[in-house]
Structures are given as C-alpha cells and as structure tokens.
Chain A
Amino acid sequence: MIKIAVASGKGGTGKTLVATNIFYTLLRNKADALLIDCDAEAPNAVAFFNVSQGNETEVTRMVPVIDTNKCTFCGKCHDYCNYKAIFIIPPFKIIRVFEELCHGCGACSVACMDDAITEKPVSQGRVTSFNIDERQAIIESRINVGVMSPVPVIQAAIKLANQNHDIIILDSPPGTSCPFIQTVSTADYVILVTEPTPFGLSDLKQSVDTLKSIKKPYGVIINRAGLGNDSVQNYLKDNDIELLLEIPFSREIAEFYSTGGIVSEKIPALGDRLFQMITKIISLNGNSSN
C-alpha cells in the first residue's frame, strides 16, 4: 500500500484537477485505488465522478457540560482550559462554555474537584464513503459550516480508509498549517501542484520548507505552464527539486474542468502522462509503513 498526497500551498492551483485525474487514470488501468478528499472545508472531488453514496459517519468532539448545582465556581476548569472556552465570574455564580472554542481536550473534566463536569458529543462534520461500480472509491471529509478546525474530520477520514487498497490518493487542504500537515504526515510521497506565478512560487517555497522539515519525499507539478513567468522552473532547477510534470495552460482545459469533467477523458494524453508519473512514483516509494 502506498499513500500519495496531492497538495499545494496556494489554493486553486489545480490540486483537485491533478488528484481526480490521477485517480481516474488509476481506475482506468484497473488499479485498486482509493481517493480521500481531505479538503474538509471545501470538498469537491466527488462532483467529478459518477458515485453512489455508501456509509456516512458523524465526527464529534466531546465538550463539557457544567452542572451549576454542583459547581462551586472555584475556577480551576477555567485555569486548565488553554483555549479560553470557559468563561466564569465567580461572585455572580456565572459559568459558560463556548463550545466553538473548545478543542475537546478534557482538561476541564480533570480539573473539576466537584464532579460538576460531564461531556457531550458535538458534531464537527462527517465522513462519507462513496462507491464507484459497487466498490469503495472515494472517502470525503466535510466539516459543518461554522466549525473552526477541519483537523478531527480529516483524521477520521484518513483512519476510515480501508487499508486493503493498494494506492490511496489524498487530496490535501491548501496552505501549510495544521490541516495540511495532518494530511501529508500520513503520506509516503507528496505531489505539490503549483502555478508559474509569483504567488505560486512564494507558496511553493513555503510548502517545500515544510515538507523538508518533516522529511517527506516530494515532487512538483507545474499547472498552467506558459502563463506567468519561469521563476518556478528556475527555483526547481536551482534547488534540485524534481519537476514531475508540466500541464500547459489551456483555455480548453479550464473550460472543460469548469463543467465538472475529467480532463483526461477529453485529453487522454494528460491521463497517460499522469499514469506514467504515478507508476514511477509508486515504484520508487512503494510499500508504505504509514
């Protein structure tokens, strides 16, 4: 089994385009592949395939419920909470939990000396399994609107992935903060997708630094090549970073993609090149221990 994450610092560089097309070519070539959409704030991969919905799991976080009859307003739970999720004014016997700030760490329950804190599950989002031709093919993570952190839902989606698949493709959330790290840290190899613009380069550098710091092997795809300038190409050359593929800028691709189409279906050459690329990555980085 191998897990390959498709990521990018900058949003909208073509991460989902690459992830869905890699996945499509793998299925076409009869590989046993699973796609996990880890972009829980804005999941879109499912829209590109003909799927039927399978199991759905609610992802919850335990938040405190304070029994004000038992509470002595000692304030220890407030002191233990590092997320400022408990508000207390002891003289007025007021205590409140801000559920949206709570990370569910359980420190307040440990702190309470008066047995006044119980916990209840609060929904953060859901993880849904989708089938293609009766087989589990896509797992989607999706946070509820208003939930602060996508991390618990992303972790649940990755955990749910059936380890029996040969190849798992992770469509990663954008950026280089927590949600990105949580996704790529589980991968054996990371494909960074960028675009040849100053913004693309700046965000690429940040992603590369992050991946170096956690020692992940990676390579780069330049999407919309021909647009912008050649500073990304130069950066890759100067730093000895593998350029996996260049996808030329084309209005045709952009227009077809906008309709929710799989570009490799229309332009088979792209699918062939992605398949060659992924086969090479697997042969060099296969047999996961993650």
Chain B
Amino acid sequence: MEIAVISGKGGTGKSSISAAFATLNGRKVIADCDVDAANLYLLFNPTHEEEIIYIAGHKAHVNYELCTPCGICANYCRFDAISFNGARVTISEISCDGCFLCSRICPENAIRMLQNDKSRMYSGSFRNGKMVYGRLAPGEENSGKLVNMVREKAKQVAGENNLEIIILDGPPGIGCPVISTITGADKAVIVTEPTISGLHDLQRTIEIVRKFDIKAFVIINKCDLNSAMSDQIETWCSNTGIKVIGQLPFDTGVVEAMVQGKSIIEYDINSDVSRMIIEIWNKIINTN
C-alpha cells in the first residue's frame, strides 16, 4: 500500500510527519519523492546499495565550427532559448526545454543535444526498513519522471523484502512532481497549517487530489498557532467531505528531534505529538 504525504504549502511538517510514520512499529519502505529538496536522508542516513543515474532531459549545444549562422533555429524555438544577432546564435541553457526541434531543423547539423546526467536515485536500507530517494540536480526539470522512478523502485524493493507499506514523502506545490507522487497511490495525507496560506494551498491540493480520485485525509499541524483558523479549516473540510484525522499542536520537540537526526517518535515516544501521530496512523491504515 502506497501512502503519499503531501501539502500544497511548503514547511507545514510533511517530512517530519513522514519520518514519524516511517519509524513506527513495523518495517516499511520510505520513498522521498521531494526530489528537488530531499531531506529525509538526513534523518535516516540510509546505506547506498544502489545508485542510478537519472537523465533529466537534454540541452541544446551549438557546434560553432558548423554553424553558418543562418538563425533558422532561433525562429523555430518556442522557449525563447535561442537568440540570433545576425552574426552569432546563442542558446540559453536556462530557457532550453530540450525539445530537440532546433537540432532536427538545423540545415548544417550544427546543434547537438547533450544529456543532463547529474541527477541520481539511491536505494538502500535505514533503521526501520528500506529507503529510496531521488536527488534532482539544481536547475534540472522533469522531476515528475524521477518521482516515477523512485516510486517504481520503492515498489520493487517492497516486493523483494515483503514489506507491505510504502510511505511517499511528497514535494510541495501542485505541479508535475506532486501529480507524479499521488497518481495511483492508495491514500493521500495532506498536511496543512492554520495560516491563511495554509488554507489557500490546502484548497488547491484537495482539488488536485480529487482530480486524480485519491482517498485523502487532512492533518492540521501546529494547530494551536491559530485555533480559530484550525476550526475554520476543519469546518471547510467537513463541508467538502474530506476527513480531518488529527490536529497536532506546535511542539519544539519536533525540531529538537530533527537536530538530533531522529523522528519525533524516536525522540520522545511519550510526547503528546507522538501519541497523536500513532492515533492518526491507525486511522489512516484502518480506513478504507
């Protein structure tokens, strides 16, 4: 069973909650799908049993010895990545989308497409099971495809090790890597916080979860920072037909645990937050 932990807004506590779930009783697979800013490896220090190169698209490069320069490529490029001043063609690596069109239409075959090969996927073990995570090299795209690769690997590892539960720690936002994280997952846990931004982003996240028809639960983290807003979120959710399965109070213990490289469950199993997270986990597992 794949359980995705996501949030529209960043910094609501997604990874801390994923880490807590991953260290509860029972060995699990944890997959860090926030390939753009992977963090869980910091807590879990996994072994690297496998390292796989991920090709994150391509970038166009001009061979100036062959370039005439006619400037046709600049006319065809729809990403404003090619500029032509009459004497020289220049390609902006930042804007190039890697579509190959310029390399196909160049009459001199002067444009080569080079692979972006700096991104990696790692698979290994951590103290409570198996871990898979991706690291997208800065500035690279197609992060959704890397997320798919991480999930495929996680499923394979789960099968090989007879582990039933896969926790997917998702990226923030509602774009491509988020869609890749939730598509086909069994359940989605949306972590929000009682702020005006938290509520706005939750609404957009629920829209996306609905679009992909995934069973969703909401956790309101740091609920006591604004209990009126927490109640407002809870009411909004119940009117929308989404279940709020827990409100967690703000607890600096969660940060102290992170500093020590632990989840809150490992740091203080008897804390209120830990107790509530266990209750929440049981609800997620036992609700069909």
A42-B196 CB under 8 A given contacts A103-B97, A206-B37: no
B201 to chain A, nearest CB (A): 4
Question: Out of B42, B95, B99, B172, which one reaches A174, CB within 8 Å?
Answer: B172
Q: For residues 127 through 160 of chain B, which have their beta carbon under 8 Å from a beta carbon of chain A?
A: 136, 138-141, 143-144
Q: For residues 1 through 59 of chain B, which have their beta carbon under 8 Å from a beta carbon of chain A?
A: 8-12, 15, 36-37, 39, 42-43, 58
- CB-CB nearest in chain A for B197: A44
Separation of A106 and B75 alpha carbons in the complex (Å): 12
Q: Scoring A residues 65 to 83 as 1 if CB is less than 8 Å from chain B, else 0, what string do you get?
A: 0000000000000001011
Q: Is the CB of A42 within 8 A of B197?
A: yes
- CB-CB nearest in chain B for A142: B204
Residues of A within 8 A of B43 (CB): 198
A203 to chain B, nearest CB (A): 5
- Tell me if A219 counts as interface (CB < 8 A to partner B): no
Q: Scoring B residues 196 to 238 as 1 if CB is less than 8 Å from chain A, else 0, what string do you get?
A: 1110110010011001000000000010011001000000000
Residues of B within 8 A of A98 (CB): none
Q: Scoring B residues 237 to 262 as 1 if CB is less than 8 Å from chain A, else 0, what string do you get?
A: 00000000000001010010011010
Q: Is the CB of B139 within 8 A of A181?
A: yes
- Tell me if A276 counts as interface (CB < 8 A to partner B): no
A146-B211 CB under 8 A given contacts A13-B11, A257-B195: yes
Q: Is the CB of A16 within 8 A of B197?
A: yes
Q: Scoring A residues 90 to 104 as 1 if CB is less than 8 Å from chain B, else 0, what string do you get?
A: 000000000000011
Residues of A within 8 A of B172 (CB): 11-12, 41-42, 174-175
Where the two chains meet, the residues of B that have a C-beta atom closer than 8 Å to any C-beta of A are: 8-12, 15, 36-37, 39, 42-43, 58, 76, 78-79, 94-95, 97-101, 104-105, 136, 138-141, 143-144, 171-176, 178-179, 193-198, 200-201, 204, 207-208, 211, 222, 225-226, 229, 250, 252, 255, 258-259, 261
In the complex, besides A42-B204, A149-B175, 9 extra interface pairs with C-beta distance below 8 angstroms are A41-B204, A47-B197, A80-B101, A145-B208, A175-B37, A178-B141, A213-B138, A229-B259, A258-B193
Could you write out 12 A-B pairs with CB less than 8 Å apart? A11-B173, A13-B10, A42-B10, A82-B99, A104-B78, A147-B175, A149-B176, A150-B173, A175-B172, A203-B39, A228-B255, A258-B198
